[in-house]
Structure 1
Amino acid sequence: MDNFIRVAVADDHPVIRMGIEATLDDISSVRRIGSVADSTQLIALLDTQPCDVLVTDYAMPGGEHGDGLELVAFLRVRYPQLRIILLTSMDKAVLIRSLLTHGINAVLSKTDDISHLRAAIQAVHIGRRYFSPSIASMMKSLPSATASSRLSQREAEVIALYVGGDTINDIAEKLQRSKQTISTQKINAMRKLGIETDADLFKYAIELGLTQTPLKE
C-alpha cells in the first residue's frame, strides 16, 4: 500500500465530485482516502487520514475554514507537505498568480477535460507543477508584476473578480461576504497599487493582460 498515492477530494457539487472520483478510481497508482463537500469535512478527513495529494474546488462555501485563497493558506500552514491540485472555473490571471504564490502545485480549469487530473497527480507527487491546457495558455502571457504581490489574499481575489467584470454585489454574493467588506477590500487593494479610480484600475489590468473587459466610461 506504501506505493499508492493517497488522494483526497473536496468539491461541493456532487456530480463533479463523482466525476473526479471515477477518474481517480481508474488510476492504478492512486488510492482515494475520502471525498468531502466543504472545508469543515476536509480538515476532519486530513486530520485522521494520511494524504499525499488534495484535489479541491476553488469555490466551496459553507465550511468553517473558508474556501479559495483563505483555505489554501490554512492548508499550507497545517499540512505543509500536502500537494494541492486546485480545480477552478475562474480564468483571471491575477487569481492564478495569487494561487501560485500561496503554494498551489497544480491548477486545472473545469473547462478542460478531467483526464488531465491523472497527469497533474503524477506531476505534483514528484514535486512538479502542472497546468491544464487553458491555464497553461494563460500562464504563457502572465506578466511579472511586483505591485500585485503586495495584496492580501482576499484583496487579490476581489480585484481579480472585479477586473473580470463582476460588480461589488456580484463578488459579495459569490464570496459570501458583505458588500461593505468587498468594497473595503477593493479600496485597500487600489491604495496599495497606487490607483485612485476604477478607470485607472482597468487600465492597469489591461496593461498587465489581466482582463479583456473594455474600459468603463
Structure 2
Amino acid sequence: MSAMVTRVVIADDHPTVLAGMAQLVSGFQNVILAGQATNSTSLIELLTKQACDVAMIDFSMPHGQFGDGITLLRFLQRRFPDVRLAVLTGIESGKVVRSILDTGVDVVVSKSDHYSLFETAIRKALRGEPFLSPRMRDILADSPPTPAQQGGGMHVTRRELEVLRLLAEGLSVKEVGEYVHRSPKTISAQKVSMMKKLGLASDGDIFSYAVTHGLVQSSQASLNLHASAHETDDEA
C-alpha cells in the first residue's frame, strides 16, 4: 500500500523566495505542491478551488484583499478549518511569535533558519504537532512576556486602543489628534497611559502589539516602523 500524499500550498510575496520554496517542497517525498500564492487574495482563491492539507505561508504579505499576519491566520482558520497552517516569517519579535501561537497555529519557522526545516515544519503541521524552529525558540527565550501578555496588564480603554491603532498605522500624535478631534496633549497622555498599561517601552512595541492583536496588517506595520526609524517624533 502506497504512502499517503500530502498536498501543500505555499505563499510568499517575494518571487525568489516563492520559487525556492516551490523547488524545495516539490522534492519532498510523498508531497505534492498543490499551488503557490503571492498574497492573501490569490491564496484564498487557490484554497477555495484546490484541495490542500498544509498551507505554509509568509506572515507578512502586503496588498492582499484579506490582509496578512494575525488577521489572515484567523480568517484561514475560520474559512478552511481542515487546512493545517505553518507560518514562515522574517519578523524577529517574541510578541509576534506568541501572538501566532495564541491563534492555535503552533508551527513557526524563521526565514533565517536552514531551509531543510521546511520539511519538518510541513510534516509536523500535518500531524498537528507543535514545532518552533531553532531561531524562533531563541527569539522567544530572549523576549520574556510583558505583564500584559501574562494577564497582569491594566484595562485599556476603547479610546486608548483607538490611539494605539492609529499610531501603528503611521500617524503622528498631532495627526491622530486631528483625526479624532482631540488635542495633541490629550493624545500624548493617552499614548503614555496605554503604553504603561500594556508594558510597552517604544514605538516599535506599539507596532508589534498592533500586529500581534490583529489591529493592523503586519506588512503595513512593518513599513510604518521602518519609516519611523528615519523620522523624529516631535510630539512624543
Same fold (TM over 0.5): yes
Distance 2:40 2:3 in 1: 27
Distance 2:21 2:82 in 1: 22
What's the counterpart of residue 38 of structure 1?
39
Residue 52 and residue 39 in structure 1: after superposition, are their counterparts in 2 closer, same or farther (change >3 A)?
same
How far 1:83 moved relative to its partner?
A: 1.2
How far 1:71 moved relative to its partner?
A: 0.6
Distance 1:84 1:190 in 2: 36
Give the AA of the match of 2:200. L
Distance 2:103 2:196 in 1: 20
Distance 2:99 2:113 in 1: 21
Task: Report the TM-score when normalising by structure 1.
Answer: 0.71
Give the AA of the match of 1:106. V
User: Highest CA radius of gyration, 1 or 2?
Assistant: 2
Distance 1:144 1:61 in 2: 28
Residue 97 and residue 193 in structure 1: after superposition, are their counterparts in 2 closer, same or farther (change >3 A)?
farther
After TM superposition, list the pairs within 5 Å mapping 1:19-168 onto structure 2. 19-140=20-141, 143=144, 147-148=148-149
Residue 192 and residue 73 in structure 1: after superposition, are their counterparts in 2 closer, same or farther (change >3 A)?
farther
Residue 202 and residue 36 in structure 1: after superposition, are their counterparts in 2 closer, same or farther (change >3 A)?
same
Residue 35 and residue 189 in structure 1: after superposition, are their counterparts in 2 closer, same or farther (change >3 A)?
farther
Task: Report the TM-score when normalising by structure 2.
Answer: 0.65
What's the counterpart of residue 194 of structure 1?
197
Q: Percent identity?
A: 29
Residue 47 and residue 189 in structure 1: after superposition, are their counterparts in 2 closer, same or farther (change >3 A)?
farther
Stretches of structure 2 that go unaligned for 5 or more consecutive residues are 181-189, 210-236
How far 1:143 moved relative to its partner?
A: 3.6
Q: Deviations over 1:12-56 (max 9, x none)?
A: 111000111111011012111100111111001101111110011
Stretches of structure 1 that go unaligned for 5 or more consecutive residues are 160-167, 173-177, 211-217
Distance 1:10 1:45 in 2: 10
Give the AA of the match of 1:76. Q
**Count of paired positions:** 182
For the Cα contact (< 8 Å) 2:3–2:30, is it kept in 1? no
Q: Deviations over 1:173-196 (max 9, x none)?
A: xxxxx5269979xx689638625x
Give the AA of the match of 1:50. A
Structure with higher RCO (Cα < 8 A, 6+ apart):
2
Residue 148 and residue 188 in structure 1: after superposition, are their counterparts in 2 closer, same or farther (change >3 A)?
farther
- Root-mean-square deviation over aligned CA pairs: 3.6
Residue 188 and residue 47 in structure 1: after superposition, are their counterparts in 2 closer, same or farther (change >3 A)?
farther
How far 1:137 moved relative to its partner?
A: 2.1
